[in-house]
């Protein structure tokens, strides 16, 4: 998928001031792990810190457990660089048939803002009596005032730029009387800084039901790490397929490169068949262009993707019969038209 995104970037070379791309491919991932026992080399973060941005492809292997891939690679970068927010837009494009009957592009156009370094992904916990009778595990959830506040503030600022000016805070404070209650309190405090943005707090289970029944009710959703992860899979599906869903892991102070990746992971059932959907990766590159202040180029990419979809050049996951290469060709043609 990265190859398609890089092809798109090459088409944008020189399109506007600053649109010059020097890229380096780093062979880290499951094959590196199988050869070395590590997902990343020892100085990986120091290497990555020298770049302006990171494009991160789908990773995974049947030979490597998912938790090894996640913690050894993606979360090592996210937490190592303190990429505090994961931005996950979902938009049903013309030409793509969504899963909800009677719902069109005007009904699905929303963004999940996911807290990205804390919560259930803090990595704090352990096992006792491992492999013995009575084996148990403890996983500790960590929410901090500062982590919640910076995520909420980013989400409110984003909501302020969108026509609806509406934010939904996702929580589970009826069952989580400490962490989620802190979440609610901090979000409510941050909300006072944004009197021009309407907002509500919704329990995560109710939000999941409402997203299916009335997706048009939502604009910007802000959620904890786990809730945001789960709901962004749902919103990606509402946009037609997880293959359509981009994301950005953002360095909020700009001190480290942000990382851009499709929401989906590896799809072993179609690996090597040439029909994987490249749209999520291409739209992730558009998010990168936004943050590199190449907004005209980013909009060109989005228009090109929308044009390819409207013309019916779709991979099988969204009801088409096109190959990955055919979708890439259609996007590039639209860019040059």
What angle is formed at CA 301 by the lines to CA 246 and CA 88, rounded to 5 degrees?
20
What torsion do the CA atoms of 236, 240, 241, 247 make, to the nearest 10 degrees? -40
CA distance 268 to 10: 29
**Active-site residue, 253 included:** no
Of 109, 172, 290, 317, catalytic:
172
User: How open is the CA angle 310-316-322, to the nearest 5 degrees?
Assistant: 65
Nearby residues of 188 by Cβ (< 8 Å), 6 or more positions away = 201
Name residue, tokens 């029909």. 275
Q: At what angle do helices 179-191 and 145-161 cross, to 10 degrees?
A: 40
- Determine the distance from the C-alpha atom of residue 40 to the mean position of all C-alpha atoms in its chain, rounded to a whole number: 21
Given 219, 229, 291, 317, the catalytic residue:
229
Q: Is 293 a catalytic residue?
A: no
The 10 Å Cβ neighbour count of residue 212 is 14
CB 110 within 8 A of CB 218: yes
For this structure, is 260 an active site residue?
Answer: no
Which runs of E-coded beta strand occur in the chain? 53-55, 85-91, 109-115, 119-128, 136-142, 166-171, 198-203, 220-223, 246-250, 258-262
Q: Say which residue the tokens 């649109």 belong to.
A: 19
Of 121, 143, 219, 290, which is the active-site residue? 121
As given in the structure block, the two tokens for residue 64 are 């490597």
Q: Is 17 a catalytic residue?
A: no
Q: Is there a contact between 10 and 21 (Cβ–Cβ < 8 Å)?
A: yes
Residue 121 appears among annotated catalytic residues: yes
Distance (Å, whole) CA 316 – CA 318: 5
Beta strands in 14-172 (DSSP E): 53-55, 85-91, 109-115, 119-128, 136-142, 166-171
**Which residues are part of the catalytic machinery?**
121, 172, 205, 229, 233
């Amino acid at each position: 998928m990265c190859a398609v995104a890089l092809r798109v970037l090459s088409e944008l070379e020189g399109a506007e001031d600053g649109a010059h791309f020097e890229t380096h491919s780093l062979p880290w991932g499951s094959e590196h792990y199988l050869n070395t026992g590590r997902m990343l080399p020892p100085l990986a973060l120091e290497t990555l810190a020298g770049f302006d941005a990171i494009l991160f492809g789908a990773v995974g292997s049947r030979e490597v457990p998912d938790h090894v891939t996640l913690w050894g690679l993606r979360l090592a970068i996210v937490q190592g660089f303190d990429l505090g927010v994961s931005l996950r837009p979902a938009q049903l494009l013309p030409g793509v048939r969504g899963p909800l009957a009677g719902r069109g592009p005007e009904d699905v156009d929303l963004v999940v803002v996911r807290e990205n370094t804390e919560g259930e992904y803090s990595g704090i916990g352990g096992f006792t009596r491992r492999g013995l009778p009575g084996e148990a595990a403890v996983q500790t959830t960590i929410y901090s005032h500062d982590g919640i506040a910076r995520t909420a503030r980013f989400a409110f600022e984003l909501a302020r730029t969108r026509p609806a000016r509406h934010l939904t805070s996702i929580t589970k404070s009826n069952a989580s009387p400490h962490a989620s209650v802190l979440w609610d309190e901090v979000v409510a405090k941050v909300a006072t800084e944004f009197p021009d943005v309407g907002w509500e707090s919704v329990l995560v289970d109710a939000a999941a039901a409402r997203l299916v029944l009335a997706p048009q009710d939502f604009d910007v959703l802000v959620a904890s790490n786990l809730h945001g992860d789960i709901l962004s899979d749902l919103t990606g599906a509402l946009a037609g397929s997880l293959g359509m869903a981009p994301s950005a892991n953002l360095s909020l102070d700009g001190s480290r490169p942000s990382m851009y990746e499709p929401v989906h992971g590896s799809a072993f059932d179609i690996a090597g068949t040439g029909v994987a959907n490249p749209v999520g990766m291409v739209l992730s590159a558009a998010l990168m262009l936004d943050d590199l202040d190449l907004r005209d180029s980013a909009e060109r990419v989005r228009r090109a993707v929308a044009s390819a979809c409207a013309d019916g050049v779709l991979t099988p996951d969204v009801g088409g019969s096109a190959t990955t290469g055919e979708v890439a060709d259609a996007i590039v043609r639209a860019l040059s038209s």
